[in-house]
Structure 1
Amino acid sequence: MDHNHHLDGYMTGSSGSDSHHDLPSLPPAKSSAHDLKQVTNSFTMQDPRLESVTAKSSKVDVGYPEGGPEATRTTLGAFLILFVQFGLMNSFGVFEAQYSTVNLKSKSPSEIAWIGTFQFFMFFFSGAFVGRLFDSFGAKPLLFPGIVLLVLSLIATSYCYDYYQFFLAQGFLFGIGASLTFYPALSSLTHWYERKRGRIMGLVTAGSSLGGVVFPIALNKLIPAVGFPMAIRIVACIAAGILLPAGLLIRTRLPRRPFNGDVSSLVDLDGFKDLGYVLFLAASVLTMLGTYNPYIFVTVYSQSRHFDPVITTYILSILNAGSFFGRLIPGILGDKLGFFNILSIALAIAGPVLFCWLAVSSAAGYVVWTVFYGFFSGAFIALLPACIGKFTPDPTKYGGRAGMVFAFVGLAVLCGPPSAGALIARDHGSFTEMIVYSGVMCVAGAALYWAARFKATKGELFIKF
């Protein structure tokens, strides 16, 4: 077995264990520390390249099943969780349109965008802590409190009348619940797959896009039929019916990373010693400042241009449908060509496509643009978790390292859509300045991803990375 292959995979697994599996490479439980050292040394002698890595992290090769009943159930559970959790978050364009015309019509687009923005901020920023907690405690102690918070937040939203109530229920509460469900579900996959990790990550994150297709259509049909409050309560019941069984399907298998009770250990700062990681982090922040804005304002734009109401109703679902394939296909290609390579290329195309929004002059053109942008922007969420593994040599630290990346992305989310909404207001309802701002951020992010890749590969262009 090539032990170095498992240490230098495209995305290293995180720790945590909800089910107890014997690790064939480890000595029996009653073996001494000396026995464990002998096992570790045997690995090093088999492949001298492992000496420095083993000395640094004391890590042994645990192998990856790459399938099997438990891996399949975990994949299905993660798919269903992202279908609901991220699907509802990707549906905020429907809420933006509803609030701007009915519930909160006295508020500006920027003020309303703050609700969805803060939701994403809490989701991403909490990842810095949730990821580290997953490393120590596994998935289920985080998943089920998160599911309860998600459902409660929807029910609370259905009873809201004032701006601050929507902000707390949909922005704060849902964001925390989303964080507690997303990171354990996604990180659990790294316990089961290495060689197939790209396609599995692509498949699971495509569930979020599928949810982003289904939930906007459901909301647009339910709200006129039964009213906004009842529509949200129905969605809450559907969410509970999917999330609870999905949580039971999730399994982990790698050893847990000890937690000494020190709160400061919840934050992983070691990566900042690596310039490549810092460039990667900066690229992710700039990319999020631009790429997410269309998901917030795509429905409002259609309304402002007085496109056919049918187009306005389904345009967010069309965008998420494009994103579905943009998450599935790049994941498959990433296994073959390298996750970083595919992500860098996709974002280098997404930036110019975003600028093409300026040239849209008809409903048909808008639909075509939406599909293309959804496809190329979809690779960002699909491949970002896999690319984090490139800067995480120790698999027991993946949750913490991923959480730190998403925490900084959360800061970008906190600034991006409100800034875009402010530009729309300053431009007297025109979307031109917002589109230019979003396009510049996306292009700048793509450039920094290429810089991070250049640093990590020492200038090698034609390699799988």
Structure 2
Amino acid sequence: MSTARHNRLEQLRSNPDPLSSTTTVTASSGFSKHNDQEDDLLKKGVLSNRKDFEIELDDSEDDASDFPDGGFEAWTVVLGSFLGLIPVFGLLNSIGSIQTYISTNQLKGVESSITGWIFSIYLAIATAGSVLGGTLFDRMGRLAPMSAGTILYSIGLFTIAECTEVYQFILSFGVCVGLGTALNMTPLIGVISHFFFKKRAIATGLATIGGSVGGVFIPIMLRKLFISIGYKWAMRVLAFICTACLLMSMVLTKERLPKDEAYKRLSLRQQLLTYFTSSIDFRAFKDSRFLFCVIAIVFSEMSLTTALTYLPDYALARGVSEDNSYLLVTLMNVVGAFGRFIPNLLADKYGRFNVMISTSIIATVLCLTIWLPFGGDHKALYAFAMTFSFFTSSIFSLTPVCLSQICKTAQFGTRFSTMYFVVAFGNLVSVPIAGAIIGNGEVISKFNHFVLYCSMMSLVGLLSWLTSRFYIVRWKLWVQV
């Protein structure tokens, strides 16, 4: 054991409650193995003496000096991630416009609670399936999961053009595109954590702006193409563009940490056994910080994705034209681009959890004070949609950064996958529940119940963020975390 390491342990032994003291400990480097005694001592949670007060979990916590935090190679990776997230997050941000179109054309007359299953299955598989991509990324790098994901994503989009029945949309969009999204999501986010530490929130925010870019052009493009060349070719054009973005992202991104060579030497049977037994890290839930962070993301995403899915239908019910309902989705994604970057810029300065909690408070208040009482006024509805989009977009951009603060980089893929495996169950039921609440969409009072449903999920998410922060720094308010 190094002298510095020994001194750190002695400090912890002499100070059993480090959070109540001014004692600080410097993070050790990298990814070395550790014994149980050291692990038990260091998991008590110690604020480091760095400016951003990041939290140590164990002796394998990351050292800022190990990361490039800039340079041509690092920013090229961010560009590659940006391009890949245009289809991956962009399509997710556009499901409201797609849902509105198919429910009034291919699936006209089908109840909202039925069509909602198409998108809830897509969301569930996209999140739960990240378990597959996360473990592959940690062990073998980005190429294996992204290659498989790109193939599935492309096949799914091309076959959507031929869909006319609910089950066909579920298979092509829900299952195929969902799996493709899942396999690409974790590597596209994870590669950034390999190159950035101090600027991780900014870099992640810049990359996730790709989702807003996709969310802006996909609804506009589809709306125009549906009229000019028809539904089938519109979906094929979308498939070509998304495939091109994913292929370019594979070329530009790369991982920095070494691959697991021991895993490669195992037989195929042993690889599969190891893969499936290590894909979900249930032990992580013993850490209250991680547990409540996951709960927070579950309810925050349930609120956001449900609102994104049915807000165009809500607008139609309130007398907004179909064209303007598409415009509403576009404006939300334009504003969302700023919402993915500005909070992340502040997060590196004031604390990732602090900023996430602040945006969650504002989003919840907006639902209850503007959307619920004044949603019938078109100006108020547009104002709500844009401000809500700004303050909730950080859910996508800050979530991986908050997670990376309470785990080491070498664990990120598995922890991220574990988190979204749980989130998947929330996404699976949230949209159909909202569809059941709305019914046939002809009764305004049911839409008000839908607004309350979104608001309460946002509130539970907020309380969970606060609880996760409490387990990091206890009652300390004026610290950056």
Among candidates 203, 212, 236, match of residue 233 of structure 1: 236
Output aligned runs, 1:112-127, within 5 Å: 112-127=115-130
C-alpha distance in structure 1 between counterparts of 2:58 and 2:120, whole Å: 43
C-alpha distance in structure 1 between counterparts of 2:292 and 2:107, whole Å: 40
Aligned to 1:141: 144
C-alpha distance in structure 2 between counterparts of 1:312 and 1:463, whole Å: 42
Describe the SS at the equivalent of 1:161: coil
- Aligned residues: CA RMSD: 2.7
- More divergent stretch after superposition (56-65 vs 439-448): 56-65
Q: Does the CA contact (< 8 Å) of 1:73 and 1:250 recur in 2?
A: yes
Among candidates 344, 369, 380, match of residue 365 of structure 1: 380
Amino acid at match of 2:474: K
Output aligned runs, 1:146-295, within 5 Å: 146-257=149-260, 259=263, 261=271, 262=274, 263-295=276-308
Describe the SS at the equivalent of 1:191: helix
Q: Does 1:450 align with 2:466?
A: yes
Q: Does 1:459 align with 2:469?
A: no
Among candidates 316, 321, 325, match of residue 303 of structure 1: 316
Aligned to 2:402: 387
C-alpha distance in structure 2 between counterparts of 1:337 and 1:55, whole Å: 23
* CA-to-aligned-CA distance 1:85-109 (integer Å, 9 cap, x gap): 2111211111111111110012111
Describe the SS at the equivalent of 1:160: coil
* CA-to-aligned-CA distance 1:17-72 (integer Å, 9 cap, x gap): xxxxxxxxx9xxxxxx9xx99xxxxxxxxxx999xx89854988871111222212
Q: Does 1:326 align with 2:339?
A: yes
Amino acid at match of 1:324: A
Shift of 1:273: 1.4
Q: Does the CA contact (< 8 Å) of 1:427 and 1:433 recur in 2?
A: no
Among candidates 409, 413, 420, match of residue 427 of structure 2: 413
Unaligned stretches of 5+ residues in structure 1: 16-25, 27-32, 38-47
Aligned to 1:65: 68
Change (3 A) 1:238 1:461: same
Change (3 A) 1:6 1:109: farther
C-alpha distance in structure 1 between counterparts of 2:61 and 2:291, whole Å: 25
Change (3 A) 1:453 1:98: same
Q: Does the CA contact (< 8 Å) of 1:157 and 1:169 recur in 2?
A: yes
Amino acid at match of 1:92: I
Describe the SS at the equivalent of 2:393: helix
Amino acid at match of 1:399: G
Output aligned runs, 1:422-437, within 5 Å: 422-425=436-439, 429-430=443-444, 431-437=447-453
C-alpha distance in structure 2 between counterparts of 1:352 and 1:374, whole Å: 13
Change (3 A) 1:106 1:189: same
Q: Does the CA contact (< 8 Å) of 1:143 and 1:180 recur in 2?
A: yes
Identity of aligned residues (%): 27
Aligned to 2:41: none
Q: Does the CA contact (< 8 Å) of 1:129 and 1:400 recur in 2?
A: no
Shift of 1:294: 1.4
Shift of 1:140: 0.9
Shift of 1:115: 0.9
* CA-to-aligned-CA distance 1:288-316 (integer Å, 9 cap, x gap): 22222111011111222221444222111
Q: Does the CA contact (< 8 Å) of 1:154 and 1:233 recur in 2?
A: yes
Aligned to 1:18: none
C-alpha distance in structure 1 between counterparts of 2:108 and 2:145, whole Å: 37
C-alpha distance in structure 2 between counterparts of 1:462 and 1:228, whole Å: 54
Aligned to 2:114: 111
C-alpha distance in structure 2 between counterparts of 1:80 and 1:195, whole Å: 23
C-alpha distance in structure 2 between counterparts of 1:340 and 1:82, whole Å: 23
Q: Does the CA contact (< 8 Å) of 1:322 and 1:373 recur in 2?
A: no
Shift of 1:256: 2.9
Change (3 A) 1:54 1:409: closer
Describe the SS at the equivalent of 2:278: helix
**Greater RCO (Cα-Cα under 8 Å, separation 6 or more):** 1
Q: Does the CA contact (< 8 Å) of 2:80 and 2:251 recur in 1?
A: yes
Aligned to 1:30: none
Aligned to 1:21: none
